A and B are shown apart, each in its own frame.
Chain A
């Protein structure tokens, strides 16, 4: 009896089957956004016995974005199809599921149920399946498609990040009792291609910009963990290759703007920190071991930000470009976004296209997002999905906060 639970077709007799086509505009062959499809057939309020099927989403079940199955019998049934992301436990979660329920009249004709990406995280009203005279065509894109290629050749200090879709948020992340950190809530994001600096901005690069003023703490100032060293500082050579820290948001934004660039958005940072696959870390799901990234924990710590590229595993290779360094550790990086909690007005569930938060919160209107881990921070908070912030970021200068720049490409 247990074998019949997975839809062996033992639900009764039928004279002519009705074929149901499931169409989606989500990628289903290479690096699918959704990993599982769950099907249930209802006669009344609950699925009928044996009317349950769950399969992996891949090129075999969804060739060209269209899957199909057959329903025997007659009368009207409701088909509930859920296309969902697997992360942690294997049950669908509303914010990362396309959940469509459709009325189907079983009459032996071909019928279509659509699973559009635009409905992810929502519960569209029940509809009636569309009858077809022949084979279905592919579902047109229901959301803006990420666009663009990078200019060639890109500067050797920048790497082209290809356009793509990914999941922001990781429901398996445990923020503990830390109210200032979030990142569990999921949303589907599409990003255009963009260029990202290979490294966090170093002391040497920041000095060369001429933007350092008296307001930027020097390495020998009261707190010895600031890294900026003036030209002529006898210890300068030791600090030149380190990320510049103790720098306010306004300085960071001005530096990037002076180079014709911008700060990356938090979505862009999470995209690359998760290796464009929503991994926990740039190398995958494993927790960092000592030396994997410049973060604290497991007996490893650093007194200062380390020279960029000191942790070989904390590197992302995209195509044939040189690796992007220190995405997980060394210093937290300013994002362009104003801080909003993940359930705040900027965020929530659903589909987001090139998102950037420009809506201030009432209690912390100047707070800015920082992403990635820092040299003094626990490994758990260096995960790609973790969101933190700096309140009053022009004056509240952190020794573990730095930045890198991005360049957006006119499309």
Chain B
């Protein structure tokens, strides 16, 4: 549902008058194209009378493609305005007025040029302005599934054919933020903001005419995924902390991480992994058998066990008097006498 303007005149009357000024008869081979353009123009006028604005727009655009003329452009503006396409309507009227001015005011009747200026003024008062503060500044934007179109120092939304989102090509960018203004037709729009490695954000609103809105969008950065596998299966450490046996995946914020893969009897595998937001980093460790240390020889622990047993027996003999339960000690079983 788009907010509409009320036409102040019968459009058919304007168009019929303008039909007479479609231009001088062209010479030679261009004559056929001019005739065809004139036929499309006449069809457009008839469709306007039937209030078939979309059909009329199509006919006038065909006519303009064959032979451009400010009158045709003016009529295209009228059709777009009637269809609620105010941004594009204003562009058509501006174009018609500019070409008329270049011709010294000979291509549009004075009353028509005056009408065009009045309609442009009316449209300008009703367009929607959205001031966007976007982080990260490299994020891509669409309005109603259409990329933004640059127009002078601003962007307009909803005017290009549907297509992939594109980053804003210019804007005031500081501290990772992009700040820019988008001009929209009044009515319902869906603005989407996407950036690689970030969550997406969707903003939907039914804008009233002449709305000026401030919109701050901050996309959250996704984590990177680290997947570690090894042969044979081994313990995996990230920044010195065990995360479990391989194969295993962990998610971390972007950055550089020390990764080690360890297994008894094998030389440890040490490396550094760089994680990027929303991306997956694969790491495969092939562990090599390490020489058996003395602590891994069976006789080493046999000797240690013997020594430990002797030590424990000696210790018990020395301290057993003090280890006997305290006569009191309460529920904790502790009697202590500070020196």
Contacts and interface: CB of A to CB of B under 8 A. Distances in A.
Contacts of A11: 336-339
Nearest to B249: A298
A202 B9 CA distance: 51
A125 interface: no
Contacts of A392: 216
**Interface size grouping (class) on chain A:** 35 or more
Given A177-B255, A395-B215, A67 B332 contact: yes
B248 interface: yes
Nearest to B257: A176
Given A214-B206, A221-B202, A73 B334 contact: no
Given A221-B202, A376-B199, A395-B215, A50 B336 contact: yes
Interface stretch (A13-21, A146-154, A347-355): A13-21
B295 interface: no
Contacts of B144: 222
B4 to A, nearest CB: 17
Contacts of B339: 11-12, 43, 48-49
Interface string B321-338: 011001011111111111
Contact of A71 (B225, B250, B336): B336
Nearest to B333: A69
Contacts of A296: 251
B336 A61 contact: no
17 contacts: A9-B322, A11-B337, A11-B339, A21-B330, A48-B339, A53-B336, A61-B331, A68-B330, A178-B223, A214-B204, A217-B190, A223-B202, A299-B227, A378-B223, A380-B223, A391-B216, A399-B200
Contact of A379 (B200, B251, B329): B251
Nearest to A59: B331
A63 interface: yes
A10 B203 contact: no
Given A9-B326, A222-B142, A398-B201, A62 B337 contact: no
Interface in A211-243: 214-217, 221-223, 225-226
Chain A interface SS verdict (over half): loop
A399 B322 contact: no
A192 B41 CA distance: 76
Nearest to B190: A222
B39 interface: no
A68 B315 CA distance: 29
A138 interface: no
A287 B200 contact: no
A221 B142 CA distance: 12
Contact of A53 (B251, B332, B337): B332
Contact of B200 (A20, A51, A223): A223
A287 B206 CA distance: 44
B202 A397 contact: yes
A32 interface: no
A299 B249 contact: yes
